[in-house]
Amino acid sequence: MTKLGNKILYLAAAILLSLPIVSCHSTKSNTHTYRPYHERRNRGGSSNDDTGAGNAATTETRKPIPQSGHGLVSDEWAKLDIKLGRHDNKKLYKELKKWLGTPYVYAAHTCGEGTDCSGMVMEVYLEVYGIKVHRNSAKMLEENCSIIDLEDLQEGDLVFFCTNGDGRVSHVGIYLKDNKFVHASSSRGVAVDDLRQNYYATHFHAAARVNSRH
């Protein structure tokens, strides 16, 4: 090879070595778009008999993995070992803590053994407030509650969801604070979740207050 050819090779090698190393890892973001769930508050249809969330398992198992700040529940929330203020209803938190981890069982309502969403709400309301609410989540909203603005949610209010894709109320939970609520998840049993989590924001139907608590 000629001297000119060698110089060209050396020059090409030097240029390649001077190039910056580029990572092959994707920079695509995994965060999801937050959907304003208050826009879904007036969606119609809430009268058919649908105890708890009997068919919610088929939809809930497809929900996306929650991202930071949108549904991740800290250990203290998961156990309800949180610092309560003087205005917090300690009896409510104490009662709900007993229910945490109770397996999901359709049409059941026994703490520690099995419950569906409306069964848990019914028992907690009877124990904490001495109020008997309907056993069915749709009728609970229709006959026992008044719809309120999302911004007016207070500890002990109820949050309702349409999880079956047919526009009918089929799931209910008890609101705590900081967007957190307790409910009987069809896949995880009684647990704490965040209203901003994509699945619950997408299926949110209404915030409501039990009439006897006005």
What CA dihedral angle connects 44, 49, 51 and 52, to 10 degrees? -10
Of 70, 109, 162, 171, the catalytic one is 171
Of 70, 109, 183, 205, the catalytic one is 183
H helical segments located in 26-179: 57-60, 75-78, 90-99, 117-129, 137-139
Is residue 32 among the annotated active site residues? no
Residue with tokens 């209010």: 157
For 60-113, where are the E strands, in sequence order?
Answer: 109-110
The count of other CB atoms within 10 Å of the CB of residue 175 is 22
Q: Which residues contact 210 (CB under 8 A, 6 or more apart)?
A: 125, 129, 131, 133, 144, 145, 156, 157, 158
Is residue 25 among the annotated active site residues? no
Of 70, 109, 117, 203, the catalytic one is 117
Is residue 117 among the annotated active site residues? yes
User: Which among 50, 45, 43 has a CA at the least distance from the CA of 172?
Assistant: 50
- Residue 114 CA to residue 38 CA, distance in Å, equals 31
The answer to whether 99 touches 190, Cβ cutoff 8 Å, is: yes
Catalytic residues: 117, 171, 183
